[in-house]
Chain A
Amino acid sequence: MITKYVLPILLSFGSHLVAQDEPDSKPTSQPTDTAEDRPSETKDDDAADAEEDRFTVIRGADVYTGTGSMLRRASILIKNDKIEAVGHDLDVPDGATEIDATGKAVSPGFVSVGSSGFGAPGTFRLEEVADGLNPWDPSIKLGLAAGITSFGMMANEGRDVPRGKSAVLKLAPGDLEGMLCATDTILSMRMPLDRQQWRKLRELVDQAREHLDAVAKFEEEQKSSAGKSEDKKSNDGKDSAKGGKKKDDPKPPKPPRGTEEILDLLAGKKLLWIDLGNASRGWFMGGPTNSDNEKVRQGLEVAELLGRGVVFNRPITGWVYADRIARTGSMAILEPRSRVEPDEGNPDITGSNLASAAILADAGVPVAVMSPTSNLTLMGLYGQDVNTLHVDAAYAVRGGLDNRKGLRTITLDAAKMLGVDARIGSIEPSKDADLLILTGDPLHYASLVDTAIVNGKVVYERQKETFYSHISR
């Protein structure tokens, strides 16, 4: 997206910059930053001249912001695809589209942390997810009827090393560009590891750390020998290594093979999901039979090894290790609806716990909630499972989770698990305008989505679609 604008601009800005910055690189150095910002702003202004800013205001609803608070009878102002303001006395520009939601509730769009369908490419190879989207997939409307406005999906998951492609997609019917929220924010690996796999992982992490040290040293040297070529700063080591266009400069150290993902994790660019193998056994099969204590413990070791929090994907016994999970800065995705019986020999620390979400949240662990089966295929008995994400969140509340945090588990904290909480998941100024107008409390089972708004556009209206139009509520 950016590159479309940046490239021509950079071209016009003198050859020394072009040689330096290949289109893919993230602007980190000062000159590039300003160079990019200024012209793209003018570009935006041009566009704004051509078509006016769209303003929409939703009035009179109880606004559940997704952060835990609720504003009674408040208004939300949307400018184009972003939320402009939330509150009681808003300056609404003339000509704004008015949506009267008196007596209704507004919530952030629900985030399904792991799904497929909804217009995502059917293939499991996600290399070019953007080029495989189907913005007219009929299941998009179904997902919107269920309140889902975005979801994460993964492919090529890692087994014994962090790996994988991922994407966060939005349910924006007909809007190819609007569907893509983020790509490659997540890596995953599966527990448990055997001793050999542990050795390999430790080696990789060591190599990555050594590489970082080497890069730091290299940059130090570059700085000390500065003066002759100021503009040719190598920013990241990795990027410039790939660029490889320099003729005379000493090359920064190359990352050792296989450590690229680890480097991303160490730099906090991506999140690591720890798959415990629980999701593969559906609740209708009686759920996972084994307790996953050992896997959770190993996952915690991975977090400690990396010095970074990880995301536990559907742990059963996560509640046993709540404090340690909190200490490592890790997060957890839970399935409060499915229950796993404890082992008879060791009932105190095995089996699921309805209070998992409450225990983890009390320890300070961000918790997201997911339905036991995550796809909306509608072919079989359980195809409707993801239809009621809010009910799954309500199960967490039943287990003792603070009512106000209940909604977070399927909005802001769910976005956190996908690494996109800066863009979606709550109703706050400057965030994406993805929200729902509901017939009542977002966590009540009988509440239905009346209107869904994605990227500032109304994309679903209950009365106009067949799914729930027959219900008067």
Chain B
Amino acid sequence: MKHLITTTLLSLIAAHASAQQERPLAIRNARILTLAGEPIESGTVLIQDGRIKAVGAKVKIPAGAEVVDADGGTVMPGLVSAWSQAGLSGTRRTAPADQFHGRFRVRSTRQSSPVSKAGSKVSDSLYARQDVFGELLAAGVTTLAIAPMGLGFPGQAARVALDKETADGFVLDDDTYLVIGCAPNSSVKKAIKSALDAGKKALDDRNKPKEEPKQPDKSESAKKPTDSKPSDESGDKPKKGDEPKPEPKPGDEPKPEPKPEPKPKPEPGEKPKPNGKPASDDKKPADKKPEKKKDPNAEAIADLLEGKRSAMLVVSTSQELAHYVEAIDDYEFAVTLVAPNDNAFGGSLWLEPEAVSEVGARILIEPELRTPHYTRVLHDPGAELRKAGIEVGYLVGDTRFEVRDLFYKLMELVRHGADADTVLRGVTSIPAAMLGVEKDVGTVEKGKRANLLLFSGDPLAPTSRLVTVFYDGQPVGKEAAR
């Protein structure tokens, strides 16, 4: 079955790749949830060269355009998954021994030992040829950011293309945001604090008038990536496609700062060990003085402190949040919160919206109704957070099963009184803004990438089917009918 899907995908892509340039595509007779204003009851989306060329009730379809009749169905933007572990542990083809882990979602941040490798990139440990990406795309996910797991600073997330079978062009963006994991645990808090201190020091160095001559190596983790980031997002073809360049090896020099680099992290397959040998081997002779080499971990955090880089803070409870606030001391930088495991015993974040808004103005939560402890009354956590002015996005899920359930869960939220448009923005435009790609994806508007979902009816109604997923204007596949 999976092979079937992949081969169909492949042939579809191949078939359309050649035609992509010339022929416009029009989806007509559709209810369009633009999520950038009122829905268009019956309209047309015109697509050319992978972008939305026009959208509205009275769009003229040019002669020669390929026409898709939506038959009264609904068009909405593709799903944006802003924090995902898809493909991280489930490398079924490469590591058969790992396949059982791949079946379950790994979302525990309960590892006891923190890491401090803010400069490392999850893209270096990603493998493009995994079924999960095609499956997620077929289920409706068109933007996917993969975040490393761990406590402290486990590294940088990457945004990937979903229709690639090879590494070529797979990584769209390898420094999407920094991940911070916090737990009520003194070693974690110390690690966060000392990493921030190191970042501050690097920032101070950076601001000193005498600027060290730049290292000739193209270390991605310094300032450079932040400059190139916007162009990456707007450009269709990312430049930094060829993925695993093994150079951003943090911690190759034993720095004076007390930076814990603990080995005991027990995931051999997941991330490259920060102190890899080859990097230090080939760089040492080039350097005259070890002090001159910049620590990519500290540089990444310096960027964060300078506001050049965004971060996602993984805290599931208000307990963890409180310890994070204490750990960062008086450093100030904005983060987006991610709360993947609401836990009433550790304190539900949505019950403490003030505490949340002091740390960040945006949060990603599970799209689920919850009961506060000791009651049986269901509440909508998103609604409570929105009341406090916090922007709420929803976690989309790491497998096609979870993505299918997503619509069911969103339906429950709407049934419970939430506004359908608001809830759908929580899986499209709001996470797009969290990734900084809101100019490109997240709504059905002119100029945006034509990542669209066509449903047979109301996307939230259980009676509707996802008919077609359009990725950069191309129909990429259908959800399995059964």
Q: List chain A positions with a Cβ less than 8 A from chain B.
A: 138-139, 142, 286, 337, 339, 341-342, 344, 347, 351-355, 378, 381, 383-384, 387-388, 391-392, 394-395, 397-398, 443-446, 448, 466-468, 470-471
Contact = CB atoms under 8 A, between A and B. Distances in A.
Contacts of B414: 445-446
11 contacts: A286-B103, A339-B401, A341-B1, A344-B2, A351-B482, A352-B482, A392-B462, A394-B463, A395-B462, A445-B462, A468-B417
Given A139-B376, A354-B482, A342 B1 contact: yes
Contacts of B481: 354
Contacts of B464: 398
A443 B458 CA distance: 14
B334 interface: no
Contacts of B401: 286, 339
Most central of A138, A353, A383 by chain B CB within 10 Å: A383
A289 B68 CA distance: 37
Contact of B482 (A286, A353, A397, A443): A353
B111 interface: no
A344 B378 contact: no
Contacts of A384: 369, 378, 412
Given A286-B401, A342-B482, A391 B377 contact: no
B417 A471 contact: yes
Most central of B417, B463, B465 by chain A CB within 10 Å: B463
A387 B413 CA distance: 12
B462 A398 contact: yes
Contact of B1 (A138, A344, A394): A344
Contacts of B465: 398
Contacts of A347: 1
Contacts of B482: 339, 342, 351-355
Interface in B354-392: 366, 368-369, 371, 376-378
Contacts of A337: 408, 462
B416 interface: yes
A398 B1 CA distance: 22
B228 to A, nearest CB: 40
A232 B415 CA distance: 62
B412 A378 contact: no
Given A354-B482, A445-B461, 12 more contacts: A142-B376, A337-B462, A354-B481, A355-B482, A387-B378, A391-B411, A395-B462, A398-B463, A445-B411, A448-B415, A467-B378, A468-B417
Contacts of B369: 384
Contacts of A470: 417
What are the 10 A-B residue pairs with the smallest beta carbon separation, nearest first?
A394-B462, A471-B417, A398-B463, A353-B482, A395-B462, A391-B462, A445-B411, A466-B377, A394-B463, A446-B415
Interface in B442-482: 460-465, 481-482
A45 B482 CA distance: 57
B102 to A, nearest CB: 11
B129 interface: no
Nearest to A319: B482
Contacts of A381: 366, 368
Interface of B: 1-3, 103, 366, 368-369, 371, 376-378, 401, 404, 408, 411-412, 414-417, 460-465, 481-482
Contacts of A355: 482
Nearest to B462: A394
Contacts of B415: 388, 445-446, 448
Nearest to A382: B368
A139 B378 CA distance: 12
A286 B401 CA distance: 7
Most central of A339, A353, A392 by chain B CB within 10 Å: A339
A341 B415 CA distance: 29
Contact of A471 (B371, B377, B416): B416
Contacts of B417: 468, 470-471
A138 B376 contact: yes
Contact of A378 (B2, B368, B376): B376
Nearest to B464: A398
Contact of A445 (B103, B377, B378, B460): B460
A446 B416 CA distance: 8
B50 to A, nearest CB: 31
A467 B415 CA distance: 12
B369 to A, nearest CB: 6
B104 to A, nearest CB: 8
Given A351-B482, A466-B377, A397 B463 contact: yes
Most central of B411, B414, B462 by chain A CB within 10 Å: B462
Nearest to B383: A470
Contacts of A446: 414-415
Given A353-B482, A466-B377, A470-B417, A339 B404 contact: yes
A264 to B, nearest CB: 37
A397 B461 CA distance: 11
Most central of B366, B412, B415, B416 by chain A CB within 10 Å: B415
A200 to B, nearest CB: 37
A344 B6 CA distance: 14
A357 B460 CA distance: 21
Contacts of A353: 482
A471 B481 CA distance: 35
B44 to A, nearest CB: 26
Nearest to B368: A381
Contacts of B460: 445
A443 B369 CA distance: 20
A305 B404 CA distance: 40
A351 B4 CA distance: 16
A445 B418 CA distance: 13
Contacts of B368: 381
Contacts of B404: 339
A342 B103 CA distance: 16
Contacts of A351: 482
Contacts of B412: 384, 387-388
A397 B417 CA distance: 24
Contacts of B366: 381
Contacts of B463: 394-395, 397-398, 443
A446 B369 CA distance: 15
A56 to B, nearest CB: 28
A378 B373 CA distance: 10
B411 A378 contact: no
A341 B4 CA distance: 13
Nearest to A446: B415
B287 to A, nearest CB: 51
A220 to B, nearest CB: 55
Nearest to A470: B417
A195 B431 CA distance: 57
A42 B353 CA distance: 65
Contacts of A352: 482
A245 B377 CA distance: 57
A389 to B, nearest CB: 12
Nearest to A347: B1
A445 B413 CA distance: 11
A397 B366 CA distance: 27
Contacts of B2: 344
A404 to B, nearest CB: 14
